[in-house]
Amino acid sequence: MAKITELSESEQRLVEAAAHARSFSYSPYSHFAVGAAVMTSDGEIYSGCNIENQAYSVTNCAERTAIFNAVSEGHDDITLLAVIADTPAPTAPCGACRQVIAEFGIPNIIMANTMGDVKVVTIDELLPAAFGAEDMK
């Protein structure tokens, strides 16, 4: 695995923002704290954490929280997403988050863990047959 120190300065800042967001995780049921952060085309960073609910289906993942945070502030030009959790290997977004990442055309995803391991992948690698606008014609 690549280490955080091998990322560019802006990529490292994004992983650090995701790690900070993780500290706000509301995960009293799973105890699985996740943080995420997105970077817009103009370098703005928006972060989010996972927010659980006793009814698991209304839980919101960190990745979607970060994306929705950016979009709610008028930014749908997201170029990069980072996600981090305390896992043995870099953590990957769930299926629902992958679809939202595809919806906003976020091309690159940094998957990280709290030990400093990272893996950079594309959305096409994570969700090769994403449902998109062209499927609704």
Give strand pairing partners of 113.
Answer: 85
Active-site hit among 11, 16, 52, 63: 63
Maximum separation of any 2 CA atoms in the chain, in Å: 45
* C-alpha–C-alpha distance, residues 107 and 23, integer Å: 26
Q: What is the pTM of this model?
A: 0.93
- Mean of the per-residue pLDDT values for the chain? 94
pLDDT band at 137 (very low <50, low <70, confident <90, very high): confident
**Nearest Cα to Cα of residue 108 among 129, 87, 84, 78:** 78
Contacts of 135 (CB under 8 A, 6+ apart): none
CA 3/CA 53 separation, integer angstroms: 33
CA distance 90 to 110: 9
Percent of the chain residues past pLDDT 90, beyond the cut: 88
Contact 17, 45 (CB under 8 A): yes
For residue 5, pLDDT beyond 60: no
Collapse the DSSP code of 132 into the 3-class scheme (helix H, G, I; strand E, B; otherwise coil) and give the result: coil
pLDDT per residue as tens digits for the range 25-71: 999 999 999 999 999 999 999 999 999 999 988 999 999 999 999 99
> Residue 121: what residue type?
V
Q: Is 125 a catalytic residue?
A: no
Tell me the per-residue pLDDT of 35-45, one tens digit each, with 9 for 90 and over: 999 999 999 99
115 or 131: which leads in pLDDT: 115
